[in-house]
Structure 1
Amino acid sequence: MFRQRLITAAILVPLTVWAVLFLPTGIIAWPLALIIAIGAWEWAGLVRLQARGARLLYAFVVLLLLWGSRFLPLAGIAIVGAVWWGICTILLMRWAQHRPASPSLLGMPALGLIAGILVLVPAWRATIGLHALPTVGPKMVLFLFLLVWLADSAAYAVGRRFGHTRLAPALSPGKTREGVYGALAAGLLLSLIGGEVFSFSGPAWWGFVGLGLLTLLASVVGDLLESLFKRMGAVKDSGRLLPGHGGALDRVDSLTAAAPVFALGIWILGQLQ
Structure 2
Amino acid sequence: MIGAIYFLSTQTLALVFAIITIMGAWEWGGLIKIYTAKNRYLYIALILLSLLISWIIPLQWVLIISIIWWNFCLLLLIKPFQKKSISHPISKMEGSVIGFLILVPAWRAIIYLHSLPTIGSNIVLFLFALIWLADSGAYMAGRKFGHTKLAPMLSPGKTWEGVYGALIICSLYLVVSTQFFEFSGKKWWLFIALGLATVLFSIVGDLLESLFKRVAAVKDSSSLLPGHGGILDRIDSLTAAVPIFTFGFLLLERLDDWS
Shift of 1:268: 0.2
d(CA) in 1 for partners of 2:89, 2:58: 32
Alignment of 1:186-265 (within 5 A): 186-265=169-248
Aligned partner of 2:101 in structure 1 is: 118
Q: The residue matched to 1:164 in structure 2 has which SS?
A: coil
CA distances 1:191-246 after superposition (whole Å, capped 9, x unpaired): 11111111111001111011100000010000000000000000000011212111
Shift of 1:49: 1.2
Question: Of 97, 100, 118, which residue of structure 1 is paired with 2:86?
Answer: 100
Q: Are residues 1:71 and 2:56 paired?
A: yes
d(CA) in 2 for partners of 1:17, 1:82: 27
AA in 2 matched with 1:270: E
The answer to whether the 8 A contact 2:198-2:245 is kept is: yes
Shift of 1:100: 3.1
Aligned partner of 2:143 in structure 1 is: 160
Q: The residue matched to 2:254 in structure 1 has which SS?
A: helix
Alignment: residue pair count:
255
Q: The residue matched to 1:243 in structure 2 has which SS?
A: coil
Q: The residue matched to 2:157 in structure 1 has which SS?
A: strand
Please, which runs of 5 or more residues in structure 1 have no aligned partner?
1-15
Q: The residue matched to 2:218 in structure 1 has which SS?
A: coil
Length-normalised TM-score, structure 1: 0.91
Q: Which has the higher contact order (CA 8 A, sep 6+)?
A: 1
d(CA) in 2 for partners of 1:95, 1:116: 20
d(CA) in 1 for partners of 2:214, 2:51: 27
Length-normalised TM-score, structure 2: 0.96
Q: Are residues 1:54 and 2:60 paired?
A: no
What is the RMSD of the two structures over their aligned residues, measured on CA atoms? 1.0
d(CA) in 1 for partners of 2:75, 2:219: 24
Shift of 1:76: 2.1
Aligned partner of 2:24 in structure 1 is: 39
d(CA) in 2 for partners of 1:62, 1:165: 38
Question: Of 20, 31, 43, which residue of structure 1 is paired with 2:5?
Answer: 20
d(CA) in 1 for partners of 2:219, 2:101: 22
The answer to whether the 8 A contact 2:141-2:165 is kept is: yes
Shift of 1:117: 0.4
How high is the sequence identity, in percent, across the aligned residues? 52
Please, which runs of 5 or more residues in structure 2 have no aligned partner?
none
d(CA) in 1 for partners of 2:248, 2:207: 22
d(CA) in 1 for partners of 2:248, 2:178: 13
d(CA) in 2 for partners of 1:190, 1:81: 26
CA distances 1:100-129 after superposition (whole Å, capped 9, x unpaired): 31xx333x2101100010000000000001
The answer to whether the 8 A contact 2:86-2:153 is kept is: no
Shift of 1:250: 0.3
